[in-house]
Structure 1
Amino acid sequence: MEKRTTSGPRKLLLMLPNTEFYNNKFLYFSRHENADFFNDSVIFLCEHSKSGAFGFVMNQPTDLSESILLSKLNLNKNNKHETLKHVLRGGPVDTDRLFVLHNTNGVKFQQTTRISDDLFLTTSNDILESIARKKIDAKYKIIVGYCGWAPGQLESEIKQNSWHIISSDMDLVFDTLPNLVVDKLSEKIGYNLRTIVSGENSH
């Protein structure tokens, strides 16, 4: 499966009102290939249009806690931000780049893009500074890397039944531990995602 693409969060694409596109949906990788990066992954799809798609894996935490990350960036000098929350591994593209997905935009940041009415993506360091100082009044996830698809690539993979499409839930994005996302999503939709077999229809 090709993972690198010309599409990505550097410049968000216009959202197109087309039922073939799945903006703000969850994708679950349904092929059960243990060696694949996406095995057992739930991806929040931020953008999907004829120009490509990108999103973030919601259930792959890194070994790096937010506190340690902020300390490494010299943003946590007074240890104001102490948490066991871990940075998420958002995907195999740009794995040295940080993103913050958050649910309000009460504070103006340098590089913020609206994903939906109440969801934003910020890529500038000023939001990390606000997090370190506990000056952000929002739910958020710090993410490294992202998932990207070239034009038509995701559509082709969906036709091959590689992905199970599910309505998103912001509680699962922001309020659920990564290791519980698949279980909680399975409870929500009424069947165990880990038992689906590639070839079944998506919902």
Structure 2
Amino acid sequence: MDTDTTSLKGKLLLAMPGMGDPRFHKAVIFMCSDNIEGSMGIILNQQLPGMVLGDLFTEIGVDIPTDENSKQPVMMGGPVETSRGFLLHTMDYDSAETIRVNEKFGVSGTIEALKSYASGQSPRNVLFALGYAGWGPGQLSQEILDNAWLVVDADYELIFNTDITERWARAMSRHGIDPARLSGNAGHA
């Protein structure tokens, strides 16, 4: 059990308008881990152009029987290790290799997890990404202090049932923030 109440693990990062790095413009990032060694997350709203799960499954030799699953988009999870795949999923799938983020979400990166999903067994809800966003020790904390990110609770509906292009604006509005009223400039009192 994770008793660290300051950890960002299982939270969402929402890029603020003043984000200087264009790779993270309006990014919504699910935080998979956050500790003294660094942080790791998966971008949830940047689709790899023209790539769907069916294409990826064909490349790695996994049969995918349902059209619904094969048409699911593949996300650009971040700029680190872009050839490595990550399956963010609900905890109805839990293997020995699954990284349990919390009681609701897990991350798997094995062919077995992909085969289980492709066969329709489990997990029911997934988001597949290539690559991840990573930060060194203290780096993300400093970016948050610099107002680059807004931290909010992860939301099942937002992650699995919201259109990719609407995730950032929907996450902001669900937390009472009108994106049109946000300034790209930050300050401290």
State TM-score, norm by structure 2. Answer: 0.87
Q: Does 1:81 align with 2:66?
A: yes
2:13 pairs with 1:27: yes
The question of 1:46 aligning with 2:32 is answered: yes
Contact 1:110–1:126 (Cα < 8 Å) also in 2: no
TM-score, reference length from structure 1: 0.81
**Greater shift in the superposed pair: 128-137 or 52-61:** 128-137
State the Cα distance separating 1:193 from its structure 2 match: 3.1
Bigger helix share? 2
Which amino acid in 2 is paired with 1:119?
Answer: F
How far is 1:71 from its partner? 1.4
Write the distance in 2 (CA, Å) between the matches of 1:88 and 1:185. Answer: 18
Q: Give the whole-Å Cα distance in 1 for the aligned partners of 2:123 and 2:16.
A: 36
- CA displacement at 1:187 relative to structure 2: 2.5
Query: Which amino acid is the alignment partner of residue 80 of structure 1?
Result: P
Q: Decide whether the 8 Å contact of 2:18 with 2:186 is kept in 1.
A: no
Residues 62 and 88, structure 1, Cα contact 8 Å, conserved in 2: yes
Show structure 2 runs of 5+ residues with no match: none
1:98 corresponds to which residue?
85
Q: Which whole-Å deviations, capped at 9, do the CAs of 1:37-71 have from their partners, x for residues lacking one?
A: 00111111122122211111111111211111111
- Residues 15 and 47 in structure 1, CA contact (< 8 A), matched pair in contact too: no
Alignment of structure 1 residues 51-200 onto 2, 5 Å: 51-63=37-49, 64-76=51-63, 80-83=65-68, 84-106=71-93, 109=95, 111-193=97-179, 195-197=181-183, 198-199=185-186
- The alignment yields a C-alpha RMSD, in angstroms, of 2.2
Q: Which residue of 2 aligns with 1:37?
A: 23
- Matches of 2:134 and 2:34, distance apart in 1: 10
Are the equivalent residues in 2 in contact too, given 1:110–1:124 (CA < 8 A)?
Answer: no
The one-letter code matched in structure 2 to 1:196 is L
% same residue: 24
Question: What is the Cα deviation at residue 103 of structure 1?
Answer: 0.6
CA–CA distance in structure 2, aligned partners of residues 162 and 22 of structure 1: 15
Q: Counterpart of 2:162 in 1: which secondary structure?
A: coil
Structure 1 residue 194: Cα displacement: 5.4
Per-residue CA deviations over 1:76-117 (Å, capped at 9, x if unaligned) read 2xx5132322011110001000011111244x5352111101
Quick one: distance in 2 between partners of 1:99 and 1:93? 12
